[in-house]
Structure 1
Amino acid sequence: MAFLKDIIEKPLTGEWGTDGNEVNVLRTTNFTNSGILDFSNVVKRNISEKKVEQKKLLKGDIIIEKSGGSPKQPVGRVVFFNEEGVYLCNNFTSILRPKKEKVEPKYLHYLLYASHRFGVTGMFQNKTTGIINLQLPRYVNKLEIPLPALKTQQHIAQILDDASALRDKTKKLLKEYDLLAKSLFLEMFGDPVINPKRWEKKALKDFLINVKNGITRRPKTKEDESGDVVLKLKHVRSNFINYDCENKILLNDLEKQKFRINTGDLLFIRVNGNPNYVGRCALHNDENYEVFFNDHIMRVRYDKTKYNGQFLCLYLNYPYGQREISKRVKTSAGQHTINQGGLEKLNLILPPINLQNKFAEKIDLIEQQKELAKQELQESEDLFNCLLQKAFKGELV
């Protein structure tokens, strides 16, 4: 074992500089929770040449977050830097530069990442004036790192790299399935905004059978704990319903009749403080769950001889559907809302139902493959976490 202070150079503080566009500066918004950097939104600042020369990042550096965090995400996240070009990090972060004659940089990064993930870093944080800070000197002086021979460190780092690559490959595959579904929609129906296939366009009101807002009552009594599952806003995502719902209310027979969700019903987010969530929808297509819904959600029943539910759901969640929805959203007192009247005015293409059904069949095949990929992702996540924990305990040798 070795203390962190013995295997790194003196930590370098970050720099923020002044307004300008000379130097790339990485912020905690560029951190991901998987320990890698996201370069999609790097800011540029003006910083003196002297400071740039002193504090520019080198390959193999580890950047640590020393201010920020939250109760659910403790401060002290780390990311690995391995890029070409001149980059600095900002003043909410510091650079930990490994002494390469003593420690393999990637190995150290994985150990510090594990330290945060398994809650050890949380022992070195404090909270002042609402901001959570990392006690960096104490962290550097007191954190112990298992330190086998360099060759062993390199071997461990390679094992973890391979496990991480397997996990990332599966994540990428899931994204590709989503892109395939969108591509299939465009191939079969074209962009509804441009409507190159000249489909008839109709107001959705002509095809609605029933639209209802959910129950306003909230859980209050002990009896509610063993009651009926009532979905909330967070359980309805784009094209997906999370049935693992802890929100339960003991409903009476009349309430069950009014707020039951049937197979084929479309659940539609009608109100939220974030406008991007309004109009998000998902199809209830699982007969294994008896569920109900609260008043942040509209239950939409439609003419199934005219619209296939899978087609309609994906259409509304894709950018062209969301663009149409955004025209009908109203804002008041920080809340963004679409009501039944707005829903009825949605102007949508109406391809032949047999074509919609063919599309839905192909989407079902894609969803089956996605489910297999999700299982593989869980297995690869479990493998990575197991290996990471062993490395953290000094057992992965």
Structure 2
Amino acid sequence: MFTEGDLPKVWKIKKLTEICDVRDGTHDSPKYKNEGYPLVTSKNVATGFIDFSDVNLISKDDYDNINKRSYVDDGDILMPMIGTIGNPIIVKKDRKFAIKNVALIKFTKTDVSNKYVKLFLESIHFKHYIKKINRGGTQKFISLKDIRNFPVILPPIEKQNKLIKILEKAEKIKEWRVEADKLTDEYLKSVFLEIYNSASHHPDLKADYLSESLRDVKNGLSRRRKISENKGDIVLRLKDIRENKIDLTELNRIPLNELEKEKYGVERNDLLFIRVNGNKDYVGRCAVFREFNENIYFNDHIMRVKIDSNQFNPIFLAFLINSEYGKKQLKNHLRTSAGQYTINQKGLERLKFYQPDISLQNSFVDLFNKIEILKKDQFNSEIKIKELFDTLMQKAFKGELVC
């Protein structure tokens, strides 16, 4: 970290608490409800947004009590304090919620920009600071006191705004990289639709119930871990199952006994299917497990589905269930209970699809595999872009950019 002597004149180094109102969410553990207000925790703060797909609900009384101290306004910054520390977001609310295990940074001064502070919290300075003071043992943790004491390089507001413009332009390159990934996904979906539409219009093919293609369906582990503990075996949660992708970046661990391992193990080509959620659009979202360097298990928000590979390639079937065809049928088989939408094995079996020739399905999956390799190359490109962006940020915060 620099001293003020290393910086341009009139630039200052201030503790975050000197320039912002820094708080956090509740330290209590409210009782969760089937209906109520979302309680956003560190795990729900995703890159650039709040992920409400796996959020717990609390009563109005608990919501009101938490918000007496920790009410979140538009323009505030939220940042996880446990697990994935950092990852700040600027709030743009579309619903009411309360917070727990999340830092809340409010802006009361006109000479401090929330966009500038967010960029500084994303910089290498904060990463080094976390590493230096991390005291979470096996799980990372940063205290409210440490966040308040974080030293921020603060230029005058005019300079802050100019640096924001430069860095936001540089961020566009990162956004273009993401856009390239989206275009790749859209191309893959268009090939899928061409194959399936041909099958649905083939005079010799008729739609069959999915029950004809299922070998085994099982719900997962009901046991959960304490928030502060994250060790043992990897147990997939609802939030880890994306459309046609399993996200293994934030591993949820629980020590399992041998019987649980035998019952809830995941094997290559198993289809993992979300069976319950408060948002009906997430129910039925699914992906196929390919491989990982550890054994994988799954919790009871998920169904593990084993497919007859002579009838459906599991990856092709996942695309089919995640498509508009699949989503439309899924909605006809959902049940509602206490604010949660669910689908059971019987509902899954009653989905009805055309079956393209297995050779066509396999050719689609060959294309999918090639695109996955391409995505790995794109990911490496993304890393290089991020490194260049970090270097640019370093120069910006040292006052070395001409603007």
TM-score interval, normalised by the smaller of the two chains: 0.5 to 0.7
Residue among 296, 302, 314 paired with 1:309: 314
In the superposition, relative to structure 1, how do residues 227 and 221 fare at CA in structure 2: closer, same or farther (>3 Å)? Answer: farther
Residue among 238, 242, 248 paired with 2:243: 238
Q: What's the secondary structure of 1:274's corresponding residue?
A: coil
Shift of 1:74: 6.8
Shift of 1:383: 2.1
- Deviations 1:292-325, CA, capped at 9 Å, x for gaps: 0010000000101111011011111122211111
The share of aligned pairs that are identical, in percent, is: 37
Q: What's the secondary structure of 1:257's corresponding residue?
A: helix
In the superposition, relative to structure 1, how do residues 68 and 164 fare at CA in structure 2: closer, same or farther (>3 Å)? Answer: closer
2:365 & 2:177 partners in 1: Cα distance? 24
1:386 & 1:320 partners in 2: Cα distance? 46
Tell me the residue number matched to 2:182.
Answer: 175
**TM-score with structure 1 setting the length:** 0.62
In the superposition, relative to structure 1, how do residues 381 and 114 fare at CA in structure 2: closer, same or farther (>3 Å)? Answer: farther
2:299 & 2:245 partners in 1: Cα distance? 17
Tell me the residue number matched to 1:145.
Answer: 156
**TM-score with structure 2 setting the length:** 0.62
What are the ranges of 5 or more consecutive residues in structure 2 without an aligned counterpart? 1-8, 13-46, 49-72, 81-86, 93-106, 123-152
1:229 matched to 2:234? The reply is yes
In the superposition, relative to structure 1, how do residues 160 and 74 fare at CA in structure 2: closer, same or farther (>3 Å)? Answer: closer
Please tell me whether the aligned partners of residues 75 and 114 of structure 2 are also in contact (alpha carbons under 8 angstroms).
Answer: no
Tell me the residue number matched to 1:186.
Answer: 193
What are the ranges of 5 or more consecutive residues in structure 1 without an aligned counterpart? 5-32, 35-64, 79-92, 99-107, 121-141
1:259 matched to 2:259? The reply is no
In the superposition, relative to structure 1, how do residues 377 and 242 fare at CA in structure 2: closer, same or farther (>3 Å)? Answer: same
Tell me the residue number matched to 2:145.
Answer: none
Give 1:123-142 correspondences, 5 Å limit. Answer: none
- Deviations 1:78-130, CA, capped at 9 Å, x for gaps: 9xxxxxxxxxxxxxx99x9x9xxxxxxxxx9xx8633223249xxxxxxxxxx
1:354 matched to 2:362? The reply is no
1:215 matched to 2:221? The reply is yes
1:390 matched to 2:401? The reply is no
Q: What's the secondary structure of 1:200's corresponding residue?
A: coil
- Deviations 1:170-214, CA, capped at 9 Å, x for gaps: 11110100110111112222188xx33454211001111100000
Tell me the residue number matched to 1:381.
Answer: 386
Residue among 96, 120, 131 paired with 1:118: 120
Please tell me whether the aligned partners of residues 67 and 75 of structure 1 are also in contact (alpha carbons under 8 angstroms).
Answer: no
* Count of residue pairs the alignment pairs up: 287
Tell me the residue number matched to 2:298.
Answer: 293
Shift of 1:159: 6.3
1:289 & 1:208 partners in 2: Cα distance? 26
Please tell me whether the aligned partners of residues 76 and 114 of structure 2 are also in contact (alpha carbons under 8 angstroms).
Answer: no
2:258 & 2:89 partners in 1: Cα distance? 48
Shift of 1:76: 6.3
Please tell me whether the aligned partners of residues 204 and 344 of structure 1 are also in contact (alpha carbons under 8 angstroms).
Answer: yes
- Read off the aligned partner of 2:282 and give its amino acid letter: Y
User: Which stretch shifts more, 244-253 or 267-276?
Assistant: 244-253
Shift of 1:384: 1.9
2:282 & 2:114 partners in 1: Cα distance? 35
